[in-house]
Amino acid sequence: MSSAAAPEFKPFNLALIQLGQVGADKTANLKHACEMILKAASGNGGTKPKPDLVVLPECFNSPYGHTHFPVYAETIGYKPGESYSVEASPSESVKSLSAVAKEAGVWLLGGSIPERDETDKKLYNTSTVYSPAGNLVAIHRKVHLFDIDIPGKITFKESETLTGGTAINYFDTEFARIGLGICYDVRFPELAMINARKGCQVLIYPGAFNLTTGPLHWELLQRARAIDQQVYFSMCSPARDLSAGYHAWGHSMVVDPMGKVIAETEHEEDIVYAHIDPKTFHDARAGIPVTTQRRFDVYPDVSEGIAVGK
Ligand SMILES: O=C(O)CCC(=O)C(=O)O
């Protein structure tokens, strides 16, 4: 995490892994995720450009549901601003993701996993991010917990076992500043707004919408966040598994700063590739200059005084 000026936005290639086969066996889930990361990083065996950044979905190492979180939770022990040793990490998932990021030579946004904090004894839904050298460089704990009740359709209560994170997070690469969020976080424009104002050119949220809200809101919310912040916006979902307790919508996608969906898949396991072009970002902001037309004399700047990553 850096509070310095954002890196110059350069073209890069992104790959989203819409991961399937997420079952009860965590070691098998991790093994499959690592195989798919290597496949994505190879550009699908050379048919696609090698990605600079690879992304996994929300809750990729365990079944999704509040009863599973305490069973699968791992201690990570990452503290922003402090050095972190992957070798000494108590987390099997951190060790595996670090090793595969290094082997593949890519930035890796490792979806999210249930995390147990040994200090406050609480559980979080946490993303971890790795550099191509395999260093753990950032985490994001889902801020807004998925507690909804649509009678006859879907009732879900993450807060039965999870606690919401208290920080807004991004990470810097040599090609962009990337803002983080997880799934339900997309419904809260303030989070995206703050990261965009802090210089993020790209926002990526691992997510797992469902068959009720997915068809209505998954694409709409991403296009809304892309347009209102004039950033690239992307969400990476698990594949749909109708034999699992939670049925994910799938449709992992990438939206450009004009709100155009530039890459998308259906609901099976797949890898979505996208080329991220800063020209679209600069053209959107030059042509529709809302980023310089804000009226902070009429309403407050929500990013004012927010320390990202703290
Ligand atoms: O916001 C939604 O409709 C779905 C959110 C969700 O599935 C999640 O936060 O995990």
Mean model confidence pLDDT for the chain = 96
Pocket test for ligand 1, best of 68, 112, 142, 156 (most atoms within 8 A of CB): 156
201 lines ligand 1 (CB under 6 A): no
Question: What pLDDT is recorded for position 308?
Answer: 85
Give domain 12-287's CATH superfamily: Carbon-nitrogen hydrolase (3.60.110.10)
By annotation, the residues acting in catalysis are 58, 142, 183
Of 61-70, 125-134, 223-232, the poorest mean pLDDT is in 61-70
Nearest ligand 1 atom to alpha carbon 182? 9
* Percent over 70 (pLDDT), the chain: 99
209 lines ligand 1 (CB under 6 A): yes
Residue 66 pLDDT class (50, 70, 90 cuts): confident
Ligand 1: residue whose CA is nearest its atom 5: 184
| 255: CB partners within 8 A, 6+ apart | 219, 222, 223, 226, 232, 233, 234, 261, 262
Q: What count of residues does the chain have?
A: 310
Query: What b/e sequence results for 289-304 when a residue is b if at least 16 CB atoms lie within 10 Å of its CB, and e otherwise?
Result: eeeeeeeeeeeeeeee
Ligand 1: residue whose CA is nearest its atom 1: 184
Question: Which whole number is the average pLDDT over 197-224?
Answer: 98
DSSP, collapsed to helix, strand or coil, labels residue 258 as coil
Residue 4 pLDDT class (50, 70, 90 cuts): confident
pLDDT at residue 185 tops 90 = yes
Cβ atoms of residues 11 and 51 within 8 Å: no
Question: What pLDDT is recorded for position 81?
Answer: 87
Cβ atoms of residues 39 and 32 within 8 Å: no
Query: How is the chain split into domains, by residue range?
Result: 12-287
Residue 254, CA distances (Å) to 127, 231, 267, 297 in order: 19, 11, 15, 34
170 lines ligand 1 (CB under 6 A): no
How large is the ipTM?
A: 0.97
pLDDT at residue 1 tops 80 = no
pLDDT at residue 56 tops 60 = yes
pTM flag (> 0.80): yes
